[in-house]
Amino acid sequence: MKKLFLASAVLSAMVSCSRDDDSPKKDEASLIIGTWNQYKGDFYTTYDNKTQTLYPNGCESQNTVEYNETEVNIVNYESKDGACAPTIHKNGKYTYDKETKKLTHGKAYIVTKITPTELITEDHNTDWDGDGKKDVTTRYFRRVK
């Protein structure tokens, strides 16, 4: 399940590091623009009604998702000759609908929280427990740039 988490983490998006800001709120769509690193994932499985929390470690903890105005760039890291090296670069278009809070690039994600430093998404894209029902995946990201 760890490999599935890390693979899907790369295909996801968003950030976290909690900080309240009294400055005027930015448009949510512009808050997405930047580079994010997933630091945690929660997987709620319908078969047993349990939540499992996983934290990326090693080279996988360096994976990033970068959004610009219209494109997303996903970079995975793996150990190569004792050092972490980027191995997968996926570029593509993305869309964000601020009314429905739907972020789409390959798959659809609902943005449940976005601040200048944190992004949390939820999706029903994967059947983690094999019971034929899509499970709830919550991904937590922090902004790195």
pTM of the model: 0.77
Predicted local confidence at residue 72, as pLDDT: 96
Predicted local confidence at residue 90, as pLDDT: 87
Predicted local confidence at residue 27, as pLDDT: 80
The answer to whether 5 and 43 are in contact (CB under 8 A) is yes
Predicted local confidence at residue 89, as pLDDT: 87
* Domain limits for position 54: 2-143
Distance (Å, whole) CA 127 – CA 115? 29
Predicted local confidence at residue 28, as pLDDT: 78
Instruction: Give the residue from 124, 89, 92, 119 showing the smallest Cα distance to 105.
Output: 92
The answer to whether 87 and 109 are in contact (CB under 8 A) is no
Sign for the CA dihedral angle at 60, 66, 72, 73 comes to: negative
> What CATH number has the domain bearing residue 113?
2.40.128.280
Predicted local confidence at residue 32, as pLDDT: 95
Predicted local confidence at residue 5, as pLDDT: 45
Predicted local confidence at residue 46, as pLDDT: 87
Question: How many structural domains does the chain have?
Answer: 1
**What is the residue-level pLDDT of the chain in tens, covering all 145 positions?**
444 444 444 444 333 333 444 343 568 779 999 999 999 999 999 889 999 999 999 999 999 999 999 999 999 999 999 999 998 888 999 999 999 999 999 899 999 999 999 999 999 999 988 899 999 999 999 999 9
